[in-house]
Amino acid sequence: MIPVIVDILREVTQKTSTKLQGLLQNKPINFLHGHPEEIQDTLIEMTKAFAMDPTQPNKYPLIAVYQDFPEKLGSESAVITKATLPMIVIACLTDNKYKAPKRMEVNFKPLLYPIYEEFIKQLKKSSAILPNEYNEILHTKIDRLYWGTNTAGKTLNDYVDAIEIMNMELRVQRITNSCAHKL
């Protein structure tokens, strides 16, 4: 069976959330995947559900994997599929009045950077993912200060600070126990 990449990323997000429980004050990292409009609609639905029932899970912090992405199959004997993920977003709520230095001190350094670093670390630990010959997972990282709302060029419908991961290259192998992690 071909491994399902979004299932692997969901498990990696859960492992990241568990590792960072203290930092996150026991709030889990929300994981979404799908078409950008679907992700935005889901976040809107979550806002409405939370307004009706404050015990509903929080939207943020969030790791969102934007689909669709191509998978190249059968290229190497140990690799089942190679995928280039066009966009993953790690986001947290922000105050729209913050200036860049405050965003770095309040959101990026204490929250977004640790989530990003642990997410990459957990990807490398996943027995489903094969890092490249340098033990790296190639990607481009962009800090997105004050990213959100429905204004032109923005992706999410809340005021957020975010790390955008672009063109992440994953080499996925078949494993017997789906999404198992190395110790």
> pLDDT value at position 175?
60
Write out pLDDT tens, residues 65-82: 999 988 888 766 666 888
Query: What tokens appear for 72 in the block?
Result: 């190249």
Separation CA 46–CA 57 (nearest Å): 8
Q: Are 181 and 125 in contact (CB under 8 A)?
A: yes
E strand spans, 4-99? 30-34, 62-66, 71-73, 81-93
Q: Choose between 101 and 96: higher pLDDT.
A: 101
Q: Tell me the pLDDT of the chain averaged across its residues.
A: 86
Q: In this predicted structure, which of 36-40, 47-51, 85-89, 173-177 has the lowest mean pLDDT?
A: 173-177
Three-state DSSP state, 94: coil
For residue 64, give every residue at least 6 positions away whose Cβ sits within 8 Å of its Cβ, in sequence order, or none: 31, 32, 33, 39, 88, 89, 91
Query: Which ranges of 20-169 does DSSP label H, i.e. alpha helix?
Result: 36-52, 100-103, 113-125
Write out pLDDT tens, residues 120-130: 999 999 989 98
Query: What tokens appear for 53 in the block?
Result: 């029932």
